[in-house]
Structure 1
Amino acid sequence: MLNEFWATASTTYKTLVFSAMGLIAVGIILTIVGNTSHNQGLADASLAVIGLGLILHVVGMVVRGQQIRKGLKK
């Protein structure tokens, strides 16, 4: 079932998912770098990057949910 889920997903959904994962990963790396170098500004900025990644993830879930609902109506 997981293979079918990903195979039937739109390019928009896949782009949102990978963008969200990338932003969250970059945010985590920035957090580590900011905290190890005692750069509070970088550590704070990393939270915004992680937050943006989480927002993109939620948008992706909404997009996928709408696509599934449209598919069920057919």
Structure 2
Amino acid sequence: MNISLDNIPIGQTVKVKGISDGSIKRRLMDMGIVPGLEISVEGRAPLGDPIEILVRGYKLTLRKNEAQSILVEKEVE
């Protein structure tokens, strides 16, 4: 089941399945967010926007609307 990145709790690792929004898809891919990549949610601002994620060893901060465009699959533990 694919869900959007903004619904993932802090500390959880997920695998990117795709990016749904065409208008920011290229920008997210240029930042290294591609299908098959494992990312983890590191933090969240008090009101939920922005969201901090760990991607390829570096921290990246995304707006909530950007995170909603990233479809992910929860890792099986």
Do both share a fold (TM > 0.5)? no
**TM-score bin (small chain):** under 0.3
TM (norm. structure 1) is 0.22
More helix by share: 1
